[in-house]
Amino acid sequence: KRSRLVMSQARVYADVNVHRPRDYWDYESLTVQWGDQDDYEVVRKVGRGKYSEVFEGINVANNERCIIKILKPVKKKKIKREIKILQNLCGGPNIVKLLDIVRDQHSKTPSLVFEYVNSTDFKVLYPTLTDYDIRYYIYELLKALDYCHSQGIMHRDVKPHNVMIDHELRKLRLIDWGLAEFYHPGKEYNVRVASRYFKGPELLVDLQDYDYSLDMWSLGCMFAGMIFRKEPFFYGHDNQDQLVKIAKVLGTDELNAYLNKYRLELDPQLDALVGRHSRKPWSRFVNSDNQHLVSPEAIDFLDKLLRYDHQDRLTAKRSNGNIEASSSFCLFVFSMEPGYGLCQAGAMGYGVQNEIVTIVLFAIIELIFLRTFSLQCAIYLIAQRLSPLYKDLHL
């Protein structure tokens, strides 16, 4: 039960959709432009979810690989929402690219066609990642989250299964926007979103006016699993037990402070299950197998993500070119960003040629750090680093 006197509003990007035209966020009014399903052939099944089955496919016109997401029967409203969000985010950093929307002529079953990403199963990849790898991929994911949040969109299902990584090309894509939603200040949302192990406390205590910060909790759960090599980090057997597992780490005093702030009360049965627990130090999760991944700045970063109070969490918002989290864990990776050295030295006046040289040098340094010398990876990395400069010049 909750008093409506205590409302919550996003700390960043709260009014994005207030200032956008209605047709930007009114997905129910979307008219879908259907492509030709005969342009694509299914090659093999690569995954399945609650709302879809996913296949590797091929575009018969140009012989390029793609991913075909065949949607299970759901409300048209939900399909339109996913399509509208993907269209709005198209071209954003590390956002999976929607290539086409098709449907079967007879069954009318819709399918979404996406760019192909040669990803490695996270259960295989994550145990091999170095400290630098984790910093790099978390930073790439932060860029995707900052972009979608800046466009007034919450992902609401951030988890390893939805973060595709082509480790050879150092390419990351945030996928599966089926649960994503437009953020409107003061609106109450369904708390039955996100996957159990990555559900924020706000969902588990039925706080409905949540915001982008839900994605930051999910990111924190992912990050904890990566650095402590404990996947999933919070392993609840059901939604109630999920809150119990969180309380055993973050403590019940802090949980009660959160509930009091937003005038929330736990169901008596859930309150009894949660019990009373002291906050555990993060050092308790360090062991000989993961200690090389757990730096002081990693702990600082994690601690600022895994907060009960969604308004106290780090945001993904960029400030002066850097994501807020740059103050800690990702600082080393930020130094690899295009033109970072010149910006820091106040030497941008030296011209575009100098910046291009700097970007290429930074990319070479990064390749050395990665111990990666494939030509394909080098070309991709340099193109990735030059693309923001290209946009800045409006070429």
Residue 259: closest CA among 247, 241, 269, 273:
247
Question: Which residues neighbour 41 within 8 Å (Cβ) at sequence distance 6 or greater?
Answer: 57, 58, 60
Q: DSSP letter for 156, please.
A: -
DSSP string for 274-297: H---PPPPGGGG--TTTGGG--HH
Q: DSSP letter for 264, please.
A: B
Distance CA 154, CA 13 (A): 11
Sign of CA pseudo-dihedral 294, 247, 232, 49: negative
Distances 274 to 210, 241, 246, 258 between C-alpha atoms, Å: 22, 8, 9, 14
The one catalytic residue in 157, 209, 211, 215 is 157
Residue with token string 């030497």 = 347
Distance CA 17, CA 192 (A): 23
Distance CA 358, CA 348 (A): 11
Q: Catalytic site residue 157?
A: yes
Q: DSSP letter for 321, please.
A: T
Is residue 304 annotated as involved in ligand binding?
A: no
Q: Which residues of 52-62 are buried (b: 16+ CB within 10 A; e: fewer)?
A: bbbbbbbbeee
As a whole number of Å, the end-to-end CA separation of the chain is 55
Distance CA 34, CA 37 (A): 9
Q: Which residues are annotated as a binding site for ATP?
A: 69
Residues placed in the known binding site: 69
Please identify every residue annotated as catalytic.
157
